[in-house]
Amino acid sequence: EVQLVESGGGLVQPGRSLKLSCAASGFTFSNYYMAWVRQAPTKGLEWVASITNSGGSTYYRDSVKGRFTISRDNAKSTLYLQMDSLRSEDTATYYCTRGIGTYYFDYWGQGVMVTVSS
Amino acid sequence: DIRMTQSPASLSASLGETVNIECLASEDIYSDLAWYQQKPGKSPQLLIYNANSLQNGVPSRFSGSGSGTQYSLKINSLQSEDVATYFCQQYNNYRTFGGGTKLELK
């Protein structure tokens, strides 16, 4: 059974940093692209970043470029999202997802809440 | 960016009824479209990809259709467990989601 378990969320002040982790199991992690998708409270979904299966290429939405870094450790079957210079508009539930290429997302974690507020 | 417009934003339907949800892209997305179901308090689940391919394990009462800029999700014989918010997502040019359609029981 595919499982994606996020951790690392919480309350952080604007301008500070936070690092999310996603532990994957139930599939060969190194064979799949992975991504982060977020959902602001009572809002819709927004793709944040994707990474290829090797980690050699990464993709970001414009609003997080230069502030967020997606990475992975295939030996540990873990996906990461380093979030720097956080803004109030980054407040959301962040979902770890398994990607079919960089296209769509066939499995989602339970989500982790990130609140950016002073 | 490609904009995805879903309609209606919300709808109410009776058990056993057929429901249609529409998704309009701001430009041709060549069937690069997925549909997700998000039940209250849960994470989204993939229903349909490539506009009309049913994800493994999804009941056959769900189906997708469309081409170009216009796509739809059809739910036949609505069940109580189908109460959820439904999102479309294009992946032809980066990835953008529709605003969602909240489906409730009448």
What percentage of chain A carries pLDDT values higher than 90? 95
pLDDT reading at B18 higher than 90: yes
- What phi and psi, each to the nearest 5 degrees, are found at residue B25? -95, 150
Q: How far is A50 from chain B (nearest CA, A)?
A: 10
pLDDT reading at A42 higher than 90: no
Please identify which residue in the block is written with the tokens 């951790």.
A7
Chain A residues whose beta carbon lies within 8 Å of the beta carbon of residue B94: 47, 59, 61
Interface of A with B (CB under 8 A): 44-47, 50, 59, 61, 95, 100, 102-111
What tokens were used for A31?
Answer: 């064979």
Q: Give the pLDDT confidence score for residue A80 in this predicted structure.
A: 98
Helices H / strands E in chain B, number of each:
0, 11
- Residues A44-96: tens digit of each pLDDT: 899 999 999 999 999 999 999 999 999 999 999 999 999 999 999 999 999 99
Q: How far is B39 from chain A (nearest CA, A)?
A: 12
Q: Closest to A103 (Cβ–Cβ): which among B55, B91, B97?
A: B91
